[in-house]
Amino acid sequence: MLHRLLISVALASCTSAAFAAPTYIHAGRLIAVPGKAPLGPSTIVVDNGRIVEVRHGHVPAPAGATTIELGDKTVLPGLIDSHVHLVSDRGGEQALLAEVRDDMPLHALETQMNGMKTLRAGFTTVRNLGDDHGDTLALREAVKRGWVQGPRIVDAAQSISTTGGHMDGRGSLNDDLVAHWNPSPENLCDSVESCRRVVRRQIDRGADVIKFATTGGVNSGTGLATRMFDDEAKALVQTAHAYGRKVAVHAHGADGIKLALRAGADSIEHGTVMDDEIIKLFKQAGAYYVPTLSTVNGYIDRLTKDPNAYTGAVKQQIEWRIGITGQSVKKAYPAGVKIAFGTDAGVSKHGKNADEFEMLVKFGMPPVEAIKAATVNAADLLGLSNEVGTVEPGKSADIIAVAGDPLTDVTVLKNVAFVMARGDVVKNQQ
């Protein structure tokens, strides 16, 4: 009897899924493929989490289907942020204090909260580039299983560094604390063999992408200088590529950027110093540049509230970063370097990811190109072009809507009125 009951429940569930009612979304204007001409009034048909049809005009929904009326709003693909750190957006001394005082389960809940801020802002996919304790790996899996809402996550697990480099988190601690903090780090490499080993370890943990640093960093106060040898960088890239993983490289100074590109990096994060040789290497390699300009907004916000939020070398480097920000985009974009949208949210504030659009435009990118950077280009960088980045049949139903025209004013993307992620409505403000 119990056996027959279980079979009946299973069949009912399958039947329900197979015949779930489709959703008809009526858009006032549709930017289906950023970079191509927008469409007028359109209907997007969504079924079982995927886009099954895009039709001209507002097509009436059949009986039993759901209709979402978006009036005269502009509809776009869900946005993609190629560089976030969901685990926190507390910086400087406050971040260090939270790392010491807050228990690990609390960090996990903070990660999910930041994921929702990001999703409600219209970013339905993110690439998380560094998380020491695995909170974002856990969130990625929970989102996949439908346990919680959140953006689709491509995760790097723990960022890789040389000892004493930008991602060696022990540098801000005294020696007694270091002995107890993390006596055997799994993200540090100082030779070809150890670099191969740490890549394999991060992949074993579940990393979708590998991230490492060839230079020091602003937040660690470790400077612009190169912190890695050529053979170490090549070992990291070659091992990652052997396992089918792309490589994102944190690099500020020119020498570290060149080292990373020659080693075969798939993207350069920050890339704050740009010269003609770097541009040539970018184009030869076909690598993406992820500028993360809006990091400076986070710095300015924290320093406005507390002039001592950052101290010493970190504060000096922040002042340098604020002064130079955007100059690399001014050089890279006209030269034809491929650019993907990324914010470094966590340094800037989660949920304010769209501030990056305004900065990209300020430093020379037309609005349509900035939108492409956060859709078509970012999807290509993440290896997800078959899944996201456009509103086309077969793609995941990741869809947003805004009032106004983002092709003439990208600031409207700061106020997303409608968000659908994988067919589920997350936000609908009429």
Percent of the chain as helix, strand, coil, to the nearest 5: 40, 20, 40
Given a contact cutoff of 8 angstroms between Cβ atoms, the answer to whether 150 and 143 are in contact is: yes
Given a contact cutoff of 8 angstroms between Cβ atoms, the answer to whether 65 and 72 are in contact is: no
Given a contact cutoff of 8 angstroms between Cβ atoms, the answer to whether 308 and 93 are in contact is: yes
Bridge partners of 358, per DSSP, are none
Q: How far is CA 60 from CA 66, 68, 70, in A?
A: 10, 11, 14
Kindly report the average pLDDT of the chain as a whole number. 89
Note the pTM of the prediction, 2 decimals. Answer: 0.90
Given a contact cutoff of 8 angstroms between Cβ atoms, the answer to whether 130 and 421 are in contact is: no
Over residues 201-216, the pLDDT tens digits come to 999 999 999 999 999 8
H-state helical runs in 252-294: 254-263, 276-285
Return d(Cα 27, Cα 199) in angstroms, integer: 45
Return d(Cα 114, Cα 144) in angstroms, integer: 17
Over residues 98-122, the pLDDT tens digits come to 666 666 788 889 999 999 999 999 9
Over residues 224-273, the pLDDT tens digits come to 788 899 999 999 999 999 999 999 999 999 999 999 999 999 999 999 99
Given a contact cutoff of 8 angstroms between Cβ atoms, the answer to whether 28 and 71 are in contact is: yes
Domains along the chain? 2-77+390-428 (2.30.40.10), 79-381 (3.20.20.140)
**Helix, strand, or coil (residue 75):** strand
The per-residue pLDDT for 419 is 98
- Count each helix (H run) and each strand (E run) in the chain, helices first: 15, 17
Write out the two tokens for 262. 């020659």
Backbone angles phi, psi at 320, to 5 degrees: -65, -45
Residue 280, pLDDT > 80, answer: yes
Query: Percent of the chain having pLDDT more than 70?
Result: 87
Q: Which element (helix H / strand E) includes 46? A: strand 42-47
Query: In sequence order, which residues have a C-beta less than 8 Å from that of residue 150 and are 6 or more positions away?
Result: 112, 115, 116, 119, 139, 142, 143
The per-residue pLDDT for 116 is 98
Residue 281, pLDDT > 50, answer: yes
The per-residue pLDDT for 96 is 60
Residue 6, pLDDT > 90, answer: no
Bridge partners of 68, per DSSP, are 25
